[in-house]
């Protein structure tokens, strides 16, 4: 039975709940029972031995957590006499609560996060508890029947079912395994020691872990490549239920779950002082971070580059780049004891180009590129994810890039590399086959500049935004109505007659002299120009009180000059031939380097891989239209016969 069919069998228990529970509540019951049954199946072979050992030492001062896991052959244990099959039809709830309470603390917390006791009470009131327990007791979730990897996929299918029934977004909780496999391959494949060495130990971290599938797949993949290597997982997850599954999954795999944390990574990093060999994540796409805005802004202001968010903050509507900065804060220093950190993160398209020069997004990209941490970006096909069909990208980063990658970024267009799904799962209609994953990994490893792979200098994505001004050209018509509007706007401050303010003037001094006004505030001067003046391209340019040309804000434009190109040469070549009276506002300078123009960075993926497709011939279009007309005529003929 494949994982999808097994998940469907488990979910069928929900039919028992119909009428007594809302459809959106089914998952609250199904998920913890599925976890409980899996834990029970894992412990079943050693249950008698564990109980015997427990009976022999339960009155002593021996720490059960030191003794019983070894007897259980797992990192957790249970010392209750009950199983799901032996709860009994009377006192079912009391017996089941006894069963859960006698798990070791590391497993018991799973059910606390599920709020299992609350749902047991509801099941009892509906007279369904014994029936549901009996149904689960017959489902075969023994490790001999279904591996840990397969069980992880079952949990994810269940979550997707739960999300669909609750009208929720399943894709926030897990990443399709083909995408995970590609990301882990791109991240791990350069660590030759971990792939071939003896007794190699590495740490891997996921800051938005969901059910922990990203980490599980990573660990399994390294084990495939080198059975002697060991990956120690670290994670943090926001959702209590998916966190509970993540903990249960890692318990079953034999890992210490004290490294799996519950809470919001952005506002409360519970692994603050930890650094990792690998970081892997698929943070939710385009999710607002306004709930943690106060904490994030405080860290940005108070800690600066000593914290996680020193470079800048993205707009509140999309927190993807916050997760990326968080992962970069987890990098290990490159020294005799460490090869640094490699990062793989799945992002939507917006972090590539959102925000102009000087914005939070641009400053974050600038920080990454100027530190030469970005190694590659892979554009993935659409329709790979369960809850969205949008384009997605895998960013690969390292603070210890290979010599042939220094100051270079590789962009790979893998949008055309995919296979069809036999059956769609939500929005997921495509998948990456093993061969396609291998092909993409080989393209990345080759570091070539050809076809679907292109190499760029880090500075190729940068530019200076210069402000181009043009002179204010204005003529004045001092009609009675215009003068009245000006006097009303200035509360009749100026009693002088303005009838002489007609025509155009070359300076503010000349204008005021004609008006018979010795001095005027800037605000009132603005009102005078607004109410009495009319923009006229044939008027002479106007100068301010200091003799400088006044700029027309309506004609102000920005030009993005590629980094490394002289802005004055660019201006002379690209701007002056079209607007000879323009000039650069040299007061607009970059805060970091003090040079004219604000530095910005963006990675316009489509621009680099755009291929012109000539329009179809008119004769072909005309033929199609005639064919459609003929088809319509035939259909109408059938109706009228």
Structure tokens at 31: 């998920």
Is residue 571 within 8 Å of 559, Cβ to Cβ? Answer: yes
- CATH fold match for the domains 3-165 and 179-447: no
Q: Contact 480/635 with Cβ under 8 angstroms?
A: no
Tokens of 419: 């296979």
- Dihedral sign for Cα 283, 289, 294, 299, please: positive
Under a CB-based contact definition with an 8 Å cutoff, are residues 161 and 34 in contact?
Answer: no
Q: 119: closest CA among 21, 232, 11, 226? A: 21
Q: What is the pLDDT of residue 166?
A: 57
β-partners of residue 419 are 431
- pLDDT of 401 reads 94
Question: For residue 157, what is the enclosing H or E element?
Answer: helix 148-165
Spans of the chain below 50 pLDDT: 1, 169-171
Per-residue CA distances from 250 to 233, 365, 420 (Å): 9, 34, 32
pLDDT of 163: 67
Class of the CATH domain delimited by 179-447: alpha beta
| The residue to which tokens 């990098």 are assigned | 331
Task: Quote the strand ranges of 492-615, DSSP E.
Answer: 503-504, 533-535, 557-562, 583-584, 598-601
Q: Do 266 and 322 form a contact (C-beta atoms < 8 A)?
A: yes
Residue 152 contacts residue 213 (beta carbons within 8 Å) = yes
Res 260: pLDDT: 95
The pair of structure tokens assigned to 228 is 């002697």
Report strand pairing: 342-348 vs 583-584.
Answer: unpaired
Q: How far apart are CA 585 and CA 605, in angstroms?
A: 31
Q: With contact defined as beta carbons under 8 Å apart, do 416 and 444 qualify? A: no
Q: Which residues lie closer than 8 Å to 92 by C-beta, 6 or more apart?
A: 124, 129, 130, 133
Per-residue DSSP letter, 543: B
CB 530 within 8 A of CB 472: no
DSSP per-residue letters across 317-371? T--HHHHHHHHHTTBPPEETTEE--EEEEEEESHHHH-S-TTSHHHHHHHHHHHT
Q: How far is CA 402 from CA 340, 406, 408, 536, 632, in A?
A: 12, 7, 10, 59, 63
Q: What torsion do the CA atoms of 96, 170, 213, 383 make, to the nearest 10 degrees?
A: 150
For the chain, the distance separating the N- and C-terminal CA atoms, rounded to the nearest angstrom, is: 54
Q: Record the tokens describing residue 215, joined without a space.
A: 């980490």
What pTM does this model have? 0.85
| Nearby residues of 509 by Cβ (< 8 Å), 6 or more positions away | 545
Q: Give me the long-range contacts of 437-442 (CB less than 8 A, separation at least 24).
A: 437/178, 437/181, 437/182, 437/185, 438/185, 440/182, 440/186, 440/378, 440/412, 440/414, 441/182, 441/185, 441/186, 441/189
CA distance 341 to 330: 8
Please, are residues 391 and 348 in contact by the beta-carbon 8 Å criterion?
Answer: yes
User: Which has the closest alpha carbon to 342: 392, 278, 265?
Assistant: 278
- Give DSSP secondary structure letters for 500-523: T--EE-SBHHHHHHHHT-S---HH
Cα 183 to the center of its chain, rounded Å: 14
Which stretches of 97-160 are assigned E, i.e. beta strand? none
- Containing H/E element for 393? strand 392-398
CA-to-CA distance for 259 and 182, rounded, in angstroms? 25
Predicted pLDDT of residue 165: 62
Q: Which two tokens stand for residue 536?
A: 């006229």
Contact 14, 8 (CB under 8 A): no
Question: Could you give the CA distance from residue 598 to residue 357 in angstroms, rounded to a whole number?
Answer: 6
Contact 573, 473 (CB under 8 A): no
* pLDDT reported for residue 122: 94
- What is the reported pLDDT for 167? 52
Residue given tokens 């994953």 in the structure block: 437
Instruction: Give the CA-trace dihedral at 113, 117, 120, 125, to 10 degrees.
Output: -130
- Cα 320 from chain centroid (whole Å): 4
Half-sphere exposure in the Cβ direction for 205 (13 Å, CA)? 29
Residue 497 pLDDT: 64
> In whole angstroms, what separates CA 5 from the centre of its chain?
30
| Count helices and strands in the chain by DSSP H and E runs | 24, 20
> CATH for 3-165, among 1.10.540, 3.30.450, 1.20.1260, 1.10.357?
1.20.1260
Provide the strand spans (E) within 152-218: 201-206
**388, 401 contact by CB (below 8 A):** no
Per-domain residue ranges for the chain?
3-165, 179-447, 471-553
């Amino acid at each position: 039975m494949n994982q999808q069919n097994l998940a469907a069998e488990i979910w069928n228990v929900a039919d028992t709940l119909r009428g007594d529970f809302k459809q959106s509540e089914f998952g609250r019951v199904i998920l913890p029972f599925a976890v409980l049954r899996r834990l029970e199946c894992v412990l079943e072979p050693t249950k008698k031995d564990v109980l015997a050992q427990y009976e022999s030492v339960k009155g002593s001062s021996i720490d059960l957590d030191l003794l019983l896991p070894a007897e259980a052959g797992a990192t957790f244990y249970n010392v209750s006499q009950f199983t799901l099959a032996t709860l009994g039809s009377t006192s079912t709830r009391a017996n089941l609560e006894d069963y859960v309470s006698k798990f070791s603390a590391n497993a018991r917390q799973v059910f606390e996060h599920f709020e299992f006791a609350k749902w047991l009470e509801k099941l009892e009131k509906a007279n369904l508890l014994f029936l549901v327990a009996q149904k689960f007791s017959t489902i075969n979730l023994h490790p001999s029947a279904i591996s840990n990897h397969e069980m992880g996929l079952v949990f994810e299918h269940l979550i997707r079912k739960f999300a669909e029934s609750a009208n929720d977004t399943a894709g926030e909780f897990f990443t399709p395994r083909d995408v995970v496999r590609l990301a882990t391959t791109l991240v791990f494949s350069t660590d030759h020691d971990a792939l071939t060495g003896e007794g190699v130990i590495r740490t891997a971290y996921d800051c938005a872990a969901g059910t922990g599938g990203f980490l599980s797949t990573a660990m399994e993949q390294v084990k495939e490549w080198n059975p002697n290597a060991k990956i120690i997982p670290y994670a943090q997850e926001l959702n209590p239920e998916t966190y509970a599954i993540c903990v249960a999954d890692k318990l079953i795999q034999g890992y210490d779950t004290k490294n799996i944390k519950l809470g919001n990574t952005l506002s409360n990093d519970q692994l603050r002082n930890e650094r990792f060999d690998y970081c892997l994540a698929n943070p939710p796409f385009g999710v607002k971070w306004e709930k943690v805005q106060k904490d994030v802004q405080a860290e940005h202001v108070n800690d600066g580059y000593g914290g996680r968010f020193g470079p800048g903050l993205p707009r509140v509507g999309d927190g993807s780049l916050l997760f990326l900065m968080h992962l970069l804060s987890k990098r290990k220093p490159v020294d005799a004891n460490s090869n640094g950190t490699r990062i793989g993160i799945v992002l939507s398209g917006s972090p590539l180009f959102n925000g102009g020069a000087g914005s939070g997004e641009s400053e974050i990209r600038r920080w990454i590129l100027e530190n030469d941490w970005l190694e590659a970006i892979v554009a993935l096909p659409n329709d790979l994810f369960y809850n969205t069909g949008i384009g997605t990208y895998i960013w690969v980063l390292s603070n210890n890039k290979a010599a042939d990658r220094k100051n270079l970024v590789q962009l790979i267009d893998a949008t055309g590399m995919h296979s069809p799904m036999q059956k769609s799962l939500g929005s997921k209609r495509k998948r990456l086959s093993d061969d396609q994953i291998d092909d993409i990994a080989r393209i990345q490893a080759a570091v070539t500049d050809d076809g679907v792979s292109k190499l760029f200098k880090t500075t190729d994505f940068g530019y200076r935004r210069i402000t181009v001004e043009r002179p204010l050209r204005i003529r004045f018509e001092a009609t009675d109505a215009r003068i009245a509007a000006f006097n009303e706007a200035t509360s009749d401050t100026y009693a002088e007659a303005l009838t002489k303010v007609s025509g155009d003037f070359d300076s503010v001094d000349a204008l005021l002299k004609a008006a018979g006004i010795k001095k005027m505030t800037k605000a009132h001067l603005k009102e005078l120009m607004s109410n009495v003046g009319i923009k006229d391209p044939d008027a002479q340019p106007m100068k301010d009180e200091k003799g400088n040309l006044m700029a027309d804000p309506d004609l102000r434009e920005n030009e993005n000059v590629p980094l490394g190109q002289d802005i004055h040469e660019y201006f002379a070549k690209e701007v002056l031939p079209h607007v000879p009276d323009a000039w650069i506002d040299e007061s607009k300078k970059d805060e970091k380097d003090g040079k004219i123009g604000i530095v910005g960075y963006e990675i316009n993926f489509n621009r680099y891989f755009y291929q012109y497709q000539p329009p179809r011939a008119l004769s072909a279009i005309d033929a199609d239209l005639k064919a459609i007309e003929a088809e319509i005529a035939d259909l109408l003929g059938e109706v009228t016969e």
